[in-house]
Every structure is written in structure tokens, then in C-alpha cells.
Amino acid sequence: MSTQGLLAPEIIKKKRDGGELSNDEIRFMIDGFVRGTVPDYQMSAWLMAVLFQGMNDVETWTLTDLMMRSGRVLDFSHLGVAVDKHSTGGVGDKTSLILAPIAAAAGVPVPMIAGRGLGHTGGTIDKLESIPGFSCEISIAEFEKQVASLGLALIGQTGEICPADKRIYALRDVTATVESLPLICASIMSKKMAEGIQGLVLDVKWGSGAFMKTKERAEELARRLCQIGRAGGKDVVALVTDMNQPLGRFIGNSLEIEECLGILRREPVRGRALSEFHDCEELSVILAGVMIWLGKKAATARDGVAQAREILESGAAARKFEELVKTQGGRIEALPKAVVTGEVLAKEAGFVSSIETEQVGYAALVMGAGRRAASEKIEPMAGIECLVRLGDSVEKGQPLYRLYGPTPDYRVGHEDAIERLTRATRIESAARDKSLQSRESNALIAMGIGVEL
């Protein structure tokens, strides 16, 4: 194969006009971007062309394979059947921090390379880094050693694993090209296949807080991800789950760690009973159960879910999470405690009929819980507590959300966040059928694998 004679502007123009790119043309853009011969502005233009024109299955697989092979490809097969999970992103989505220790406690090797916040969605690495001392920047050698000894390691993207994706991921976040289906597929699967796993569970979100706004589009993404996984020789299962309201009650990095600790330790969180976090707990258990099954530690997916529940209730998952934090330098007892900085009140009485969940995510972002530019720093204690759910009855003046920060007078993005949250939460005078408003059952899509939950 040769990329000699190719020019970035011609490749950009070809995709802009709807042409199918060859392997060499995609290689020229990806390899050139990693080496620095294709600058950010040309890659940004190419990403926008892909966003508008898309890629077919062959182009998408080529892009994924090239991104995967831009760095090291690991192998954990000597430890058993290594399995990981990936979510396409949502608001308050913290399940990785619950399911990974559950699966590892079941004996499944879990080498997890996670990402930072992207757009309005939070990032697992940002959450973990709110724990004082926790390092996601361990070497690949340490990563491999920790998976072998602890059964679990959780790190951020490194220059050694998928360097192409690391750079493209950051660029997509600030160039409005996040939503492209082939770019999403290539980003997810290149990292996961480079991790050295044999099985992968995908949580593909749909709804107002997801990148995929309709269930049909989420199902299309799930199918394409599973197809890529099969092409790479992996066992892949996709769950399509609802993101029409935040998952759990807290949004923001240290706040979400508190919520995960409560679920893992079977304790209330800031005065809230465990039952109020049922949606987050249940989804985490289901995903962990499928991981246990793919990891050959359960005969069926249903058995895996039952085993995951037992592990959570026994405290074994909490102990595994605490081991993970300690091993990677974290001091969980020193987790900073956010304080209330304000509230968002209902302007009228009625019933919560819809929540524009993406705007809830952006409200947390403008407060400092996320980034508007790659160079911005995160405030670990900035965040939001959701006090109502879809279908709830509210009175005029009743608090709908609480805002949090490092001090009571923290006001970064305060007014903007209040406006966004007020606008995002629709209250109607007449009650709708609450069953239609509550979180839908998780619809399982399995490609190439027979599974029943």
C-alpha cells in the first residue's frame, strides 16, 4: 500500500462531496495526523466532512483498524477471558465504577481504558481523578501487572494505545463532530480492541441526554459496533438503554464517586436511601452480569446477573473498588465533599413530563464539572443533585435541583446553570401515565450471540 502523491485537501474534498475513501486515503489522514504532517485544521475539516457524508462499513472498519494499530495492541488471553464495558455516554452515567469491581470480584479480568468527558457527558477518568492521589497515568507495564494481580485496572488513554484516537477524540470534542456514527464506532472499538479483551459489553444510550436521540438510531449504532467487534474476532453484546433523564441522582465528579460508594457499600448517600439510586444500581448489575457471562464465569447471562447481585450485596465489589483506588494511589477517605451553592425551584405546580437531559449535562459543564475546551480544568466538586424524576408531582416553589461546588459562595456558571435547568424541566398541569415517563426497561440487542435476561 502506498500513500505517495496523496494530498489532504483532495481527500477532504472527496469526502465532502460524498466519495468513498480508499484504504490508502484514510491511512494518509490518520497516520499523517499522528505524525504531525496533517495539521489540526485539516483533520477538523475531514472530521466535519465525515460527519456530513458518513462512511460505509468498509471505510468504518478501515478507520477502526488503522486507529487500533496506530499504537500497541495488548493481549490478556493468558489470564482467561478478559472483558470490558463501554457506554456511549450520558448524564450521570457512572456505571463503570460499579460494574468493573463486580466483574473483577467474580474472577473476570477487566482491563479498562476509559475516557474523559465529551460534550455534555461526563468521563470516567475525570470522576476517578476527583479522588485525591488517584492516578490514571500508569504505564502499560504497570497496567498489565495490575490486571494480572488485582483483576482490574482503570486508566486513561495513553500515547501507546490508540494514539490516533486520543488526538482525534480531543479534537471532536471542540469541533462539533462528536455525533458522527462512523467516528463514534471507530473511537470506541479501536480502543477496546487494542486493550487485549476477548469480550465487550456495550451500553448504547438513546434519548434527550444521549448522542443518539432516538432508539432507532441507537440500535443502528449498536449493530454497527457489534459488526466491527465481530470483524475483529470479539464477542460483543449491546444493551440499548434509556437516557431521557439523568442516571442516578448526582451529576459531577466527586458527587458521582459518592453515589457509587453508597451503592457499593450499601449505604445512604447524603441522606438519600439506596432505593433512590435503583436505576443506576440495576443497570450496573445487568451490565456486570453480562460481563461475567462473557468472561465464562456464568453459564448464562441470567446466571451472571444473579451472581453480580450477590457480589454487590456481599460487599466484595466495594472491597475490590477500594483495592483499585489504593493500588492506583488514591485516598478514598480524602474525597472532597461538595457543598450546596443554590437550588432551582419549580415555577408552577404540576407533574414533571419531560427533562431535556442534554441541557442538564451542559448545566453541570458550565458550572465547571466539564470542559468547553480541551485546555479547561475541571472543578471536581461542581455538580448537580436531581431532586425529581419523570412523572413526579411537584408544588410551586419546590426544589427541583441542588447546585454544588467547593464553597457555599461558588458561583461559576451559576445563573446559566439555573436557566438551563429551569428550561430543561417541563412541568404540565395534568398527570400523564407515569409508566410512560419512567425509565424504560433495558432492551437487549445481541449480535451473533444468543442471550436472554
CATH number, position 401: 3.90.1170.30
Same domain assignment for residues 223 and 321: yes
Enumerate the active-site residues.
Answer: 86, 165, 172, 187, 191
pLDDT for 5 equals 84
Cα-based distances in Å from 34 to 66, 167, 184, 440: 11, 8, 18, 42
Same domain assignment for residues 327 and 368: no
Domain assignment of residue 62, yes or no: no
pLDDT for 142 equals 96
Question: In the sheet that 250-251 helps form, which strands lie side by side, from edge to edge?
Answer: 250-251, 383-386, 399-405, 339-345
SS3 state at 7: coil
Domain assignment of residue 21, yes or no: yes
Same domain assignment for residues 209 and 116: yes
| Helix axes 8-16 and 23-35, enclosed angle (nearest 10) | 130
Rounded CA-CA distance 205/28 in Å is 32
Same domain assignment for residues 216 and 258: yes
Same domain assignment for residues 235 and 174: yes
Domain assignment of residue 69, yes or no: no
Same domain assignment for residues 44 and 116: no
What is this structure's pTM?
0.89
Cell numbers representing residue 412 in the block: 461559576
Same domain assignment for residues 199 and 240: yes
CATH number at residue 30: 1.20.970.10
Contact partners, residue 282, CB within 8 Å, separation at least 6: none
pLDDT for 157 equals 78
Domain assignment of residue 188, yes or no: yes
Domain assignment of residue 89, yes or no: yes
Same domain assignment for residues 227 and 342: no
Contact partners, residue 451, CB within 8 Å, separation at least 6: 237, 290, 293, 301, 444
Same domain assignment for residues 183 and 160: yes
Report which DSSP code applies to 340. E
Domain assignment of residue 283, yes or no: yes
Same domain assignment for residues 381 and 308: no
In the chain, which residues have pLDDT < 70?
A: 1-2, 118, 374, 431-453
Same domain assignment for residues 13 and 28: yes
Domain assignment of residue 453, yes or no: no
Contact partners, residue 163, CB within 8 Å, separation at least 6: 34, 70, 71
CATH number at residue 133: 3.40.1030.10
Contact partners, residue 36, CB within 8 Å, separation at least 6: none
Same domain assignment for residues 346 and 294: no
Expressed as residue numbers, the domain containing 37 is 8-54
Rounded CA-CA distance 298/37 in Å is 49
CA dihedral 116, 118, 123, 127 (to 10 degrees): 80
Tally of domains within the chain: 3
